Amino acid sequence: DNYMTLRQPAELPAKLPAILCANGVYNQSLISALVVYLGTVAINQIQGGKSTLATTYAMDVYKQMVQSLDAEGRYIVLNTMANQLRYPNSHTNFFSFVLLNLFLDAENEYVQEQITRVLLERLIVHRPHPWGLLITFIELIKNVKYGFWRKAFIRSAPEMERVFDSIARSCLGPSYAAVQQQQQAAAGSAAPAAATTTA
């Protein structure tokens, strides 16, 4: 509670990996409770006008967790966030923003791939899919700023490319072709810009 209001103790985010993984085993219940608790407090702060989505202390803790935990711990954190993507409400909005922001700010593509995996695992099962899950995935694949279709893991194997295309077609429907053209145009304009900066 102190950290969420005063950012004290300042070293708390750095200590979290050791707290969450005692004796080499992750405490999944503790991680899930922490992720949801941080989100609930952040939502209350936002609704009270004390913070914005991007400047919540929770966002700092989430970023620290995603950067410092190993793949297993990060997977638990991301799964807990994805479980909050349900019907239209403040929790869905908040956790959708968090996942998209973590994708955008990721220091390496492995984190982006893991976020995509967590979303895809929920999308490949039979419908109906939760509204929040669909909105988050559609935003990720549709908004050029995320550069989703330019990621190497999308094209890592022909089978994976077909899976992504199939899910995108299912989620986007008739607008899929327009999104593909927009992404290709963005990739084409990024290439000349990169060439001029290296020249």
For residue 22, the cross-strand partners are 25
Q: Where are the domains of the chain?
A: 2-198
Interatomic CA distance for residues 136 and 96, integer angstroms: 6
Amino acid at 182: Q
Amino acid at 9: P
Interatomic CA distance for residues 103 and 116, integer angstroms: 9
Contact yes or no for 39/98 (Cβ under 8 A): yes
Q: What is the pLDDT of residues 64-75, one digit of tens each?
A: 999 999 999 999
Specify the DSSP class assigned to residue 146: G
Task: Identify the pLDDT of residue 195.
Answer: 43
Task: Identify the pLDDT of residue 2.
Answer: 56
> Could you tell me which CATH class the domain 2-198 is placed in?
mainly alpha
Tokens standing for residue 114 = 């893991």
Task: Identify the pLDDT of residue 111.
Answer: 97
Q: What is the pLDDT of residues 2-47, one digit of tens each?
A: 555 556 566 777 788 888 988 889 999 999 999 999 999 999 888 8
Max mean pLDDT among 43-52, 86-95, 141-150 falls in 86-95
Q: Is the per-residue pLDDT at 197 higher than 70?
A: no
Judged on CB neighbours under 10 Å (0-12, 13-18, 19+), 6 is exposed
